């Protein structure tokens, strides 16, 4: 991968990281603002709302971990290399999914093998 593409992807990853951290913080504040009191219906709605927000936070945390792993790989000089076969992942794939860990061929193998 050439340096301009690598820098472009690094900047994109850093932007996504900042965006996700902000969203996690915002959703955490929403959880704290949900009052679990009132009648049974209010209680159920509050619990349900919290569960949805917790799920969103968990999804964001997983994505944040992928981003941080990709940024670490950039520092180590291994970004864009397939974690399974070691070959370079296609640049177009990295542009479409900057946290990709596998080339298309290995991704299909990993997904079908469970």
Q: What is the CATH number of the domain that holds 60?
A: 1.20.120.910
Determine the pLDDT at residue 37. Answer: 75
Determine the pLDDT at residue 100. Answer: 97
The pLDDT tens digits for 49-72 are 999 999 999 999 999 999 999 999
Number of folded domains that form the chain:
1
Domain extent, residue 85, equals 3-113
pTM for this one?
0.86
pLDDT band at residue 34, thresholds of 50, 70 and 90? confident
Cα distance between residue 111 and residue 114, in whole Å: 5
Percentage of the chain lying above the pLDDT 70 cut: 99
pLDDT band at residue 38, thresholds of 50, 70 and 90? confident
User: Would you give the end-to-end CA distance of the chain in angstroms?
Assistant: 29
């Amino acid at each position: 991968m050439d340096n301009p593409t690598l820098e472009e992807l690094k900047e994109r990853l850093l932007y996504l990281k900042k965006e996700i951290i902000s969203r996690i913080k915002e959703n955490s504040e929403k959880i704290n603002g949900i009052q679990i009191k009132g009648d049974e219906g209010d209680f159920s709605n509050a619990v349900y709302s919290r569960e949805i927000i917790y799920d969103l936070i968990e999804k964001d945390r997983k994505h944040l971990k992928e981003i941080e792993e990709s940024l670490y790989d950039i520092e180590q000089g291994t970004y864009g290399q397939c974690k399974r076969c070691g070959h370079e992942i296609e640049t177009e794939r990295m542009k479409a999914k900057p946290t990709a860990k596998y080339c298309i061929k290995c991704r299909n193998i990993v997904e079908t093998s469970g």
